[in-house]
Chain A
Amino acid sequence: METANYKYVIFALVIAAIFAVAPFSLPRFYVYLIALIVTTGLLSTSLNFVLGFGGIYQFHHAVFYGVGAYGAAVMIMKLNYNPWIGFIVGPLAAAFLSLVIGLICIRLSKLYFGMLQISLGSLVWAIVYRWYTFTGGDDGIHGISVPPILESPIGSYYFTLIVVALSLFIMYRILKAPFGSILQGIRDNVVRSQAIGVNVRRHQLIAIVIAGFFAGVAGVLFVVVDNSVFPDMMFWTLSLEITIMALVGGWYTFLGPMLGAAIIVLLRTFVSTMTEYWALALGLVLLLVILFLPEGVLGKVFEIWRERGLGRTGEAERTKGTDYA
């Protein structure tokens, strides 16, 4: 266990170092691309918090991303608040909306939950799309002013990285805590979870609010990176895309969605310069993953590790329990 942890620390430090030096060695476009990937990755991770770890079919998760971004944008540009206040209001608005939509949908299970959630999310999208005076309608809101320190690409890049890392860390801790353990229990077996005394709906609702909050954080980061918001951010196709990211990366793994986001965003960026049918490539990737890697890329990697005995669940130590996820 100790040696395995040691390896993870080294791995994490290397990744951190690569991210830290990126702005000094890469063209500006790639720096923007990395920021976009980690932001989208955070969004997909927040979805997977309820999807892969909670078994909750939150099919229209992007709506909370959009509301987080719009919450900040409207506070800053329409109501003239300090940007920092907008950045805090955005995720809170997303968390609040996820509570409202969650309360309505939670009575239903699985696919029925997902279908109602799509419709309610689309309703929110329709309001944002039509309400020109407040949300800018289909134009969105552009040129959003951000705090001076975030105006430079490097400033916004580091801010994004730090917030994403912090958000991932918090979600990871929650999943490794009893709350997360029980959430995974609910995913596996709702009836049994009730039978051991878990208030399943309350538990799921709290998970939905946490996920909505971090989707809102990702939305704010998009504002920081792009200085704009537009209704497509909460259109259902984005929800589908981030779901695919989680599936491709590995929806039973914590970092899978981040990896999936990297794969899909890169694919979209480079394939769409070659052909306008980039969705065809996406479909192909999805098909291959479903056929050959049903647990996603990272799920497959962990499976190989376990088979080679490098796994995280290998050593039996009586003083400690086993790790979840």
Chain B
Amino acid sequence: MLEVRNISKSFGGFRAINRANLDVKKGEVVAVIGPNGAGKTTLFNVITGILKPNEGQVVFKGEDITGLAPHKMCKKGIARSFQIVNIFSRLTVFQNVQIAVFAEQGRDLTLFSPSRKLAVDDTYAILDSVGLTEKAKSVCGSLSHGDLKVLEIAIVLGGRPELVILDEPTAGMSPEETGRCISLIQRLSTERGLTILFCEHDMELVFSIAQRIMVMVQGSTIIESDCASVRRNKEVQDAYLGED
């Protein structure tokens, strides 16, 4: 479904990504791991159009989408969440998800029909599935960090994507929140059949939900394989997993 071919991205003289490769098949859950500064977020920014790569290609469903503007990427069916909570802070939880649904339904230029009567069921369906219905009317500023990260995912679902890209979905979460988030991601994969690409620091999370793992070190792909092979790989152990 998604192919990343030899992508490179430099900032000034610094090569953040150096010929990275990645292959995600339909329905898969794929993780990108790597130490801090390995270029994971940069890679996601390139895939979703926030950054343009210096070289290489991003191919989605057989189509070269390299360097398309972010809103066009979304229309193609790729939706992402952000590592640092990135939501609409003055809107309510409901509205945060609702405007994503509006955008997906092509209602962004609807000038006169009242928002409060539109896309209400679709929005509640998403809030129900992530467990935020009770907080629907709260303004986001009053939410806990864990809820905000879940809201991140709910906004992503509003775009009805085929490929979901999650940038450290559990960053900063408490252990219970992490557990809730893991089961949520698993449900998205099994119930909705979504293809999921995510990056994460939490090894437990990675090995528990990813079917395949791509390891990045200093901007390059070291290995892209199933969990067991990644665990056994010598280079990965040296670079990332440590001594044990």
**B and A form one assembly:** yes
Counting residue pairs across A and B whose Cβ atoms lie within 8 Å, the total is 139
CB–CB B75/A191 < 8 A: no
CB–CB A174/B111 < 8 A: yes
B182 at the interface (CB under 8 A from A): no
B34 at the interface (CB under 8 A from A): no
Q: A320-B120, A321-B116 are in contact. Are A182 and B69 (CB under 8 A)?
A: no
| A194, A197, A320, most chain B CB atoms within 10 A | A197
Contacts of B113 in A (CB 8 A): 177-178
The 5 closest A-B CB pairs, nearest first, are A197-B74, A194-B70, A188-B88, A196-B100, A321-B116
Contacts of B112 in A (CB 8 A): 173-174, 177
CB–CB A316/B86 < 8 A: no
Interface residues on B, range: 35 or more
**Additional 6 contacts, C-beta under 8 A, given A177-B115, A198-B103:** A178-B118, A181-B115, A191-B86, A196-B155, A324-B95, A324-B115
Q: Give B53-104 interface residues, CB cut-off 8 Å to A.
A: 69-71, 74-75, 79-80, 82, 86-92, 94-96, 98-100, 102-104
What 0/1 pattern do residues 123 to 142 of A give for CB contact below 8 A with B?
00000000000000000000
Contacts of A197 in B (CB 8 A): 71, 74-75, 100, 103-104, 159
> With A and B bound together, what is the CA distance between A252 and B137 in angstroms?
18
B8 at the interface (CB under 8 A from A): no
Contacts of A194 in B (CB 8 A): 50, 69-71, 74
Min CB distance B118 to A, Å, is 6
CB–CB B111/A321 < 8 A: no
B158 at the interface (CB under 8 A from A): yes
B180 at the interface (CB under 8 A from A): no
A206 at the interface (CB under 8 A from B): yes
> With A and B bound together, what is the CA distance between A185 and B139 in angstroms?
13
B107 at the interface (CB under 8 A from A): yes
Min CB distance B145 to A, Å, is 17
**What is the chain B residue whose CB lies nearest that of A206?**
B109
| A192, A200, A319, most chain B CB atoms within 10 A | A192
| B79, B104, B117, B120, most chain A CB atoms within 10 A | B120
B123 at the interface (CB under 8 A from A): yes
> With A and B bound together, what is the CA distance between A200 and B71 in angstroms?
8
